[in-house]
Amino acid sequence: MDQAGRQRIDKWLFFARVLKSRTLAAKFVAGGNVRINRDKVDQPSFAVKPGDVLTISMERRILVLRILACGHRRGPAPEAQALYEDLTPPPVPADKTVPGKPAEREPGSGRPTKRDRRKIDRFRFSDTDE
């Protein structure tokens, strides 16, 4: 299996500290959550080499990593970070005004009065035909 400059994908993910254990890495790859050079991989034994680009879909984010080297052990974080280049695009900034978000009241202003509720009802139901 040790081809010149190649390593199993599950082993590389473990050495690069992307996942906590090699068993988890193997299950993660088998689940179809990893793409290598845009091709979906579902076998943990797939061999990767320096220059390959990994697209990893984690639970709440997507990582894009370029492999720079194969690992020899699971070392400290700086050693693991030397194995890859992070190409992940920066997250899109969240807008302060999200359409469809309900209006917020100032904290401590209490419950709305009857007059406030009428205004709210007029605003809510102004779209409907009466």
Domains of the chain: 7-86 (3.10.290.10)
Find the angle CA(108)-CA(110)-CA(115) to the nearest 5 degrees: 140
Give the number of other CB atoms < 10 A from CB of residue 67.
21
Taking the CA atoms of 45, 47, 50 and 52 in sequence, report the sign of the dihedral they define: negative
What mean pLDDT, rounded, does the chain reach? 88
pLDDT above 90: percentage of residues in the chain: 64
Helix segments in 9-113, DSSP class H: 9-15, 22-30, 77-81
Higher pLDDT, 82 or 109: 82
12-52: per-residue pLDDT in tens? 999 999 999 999 999 999 999 999 999 999 999 999 999 99
Task: For residue 97, name the pLDDT band (cuts at 50, 70, 90).
Answer: low
**Quick one: pLDDT at residue 1?**
46
Higher pLDDT, 59 or 94: 59
Would you call 121 helix, strand, or coil by DSSP? helix
CA distances for 60 relative to 6, 55, 86, angstroms = 29, 14, 17
pLDDT at 63 over 70: yes
pLDDT above 70: percentage of residues in the chain: 87
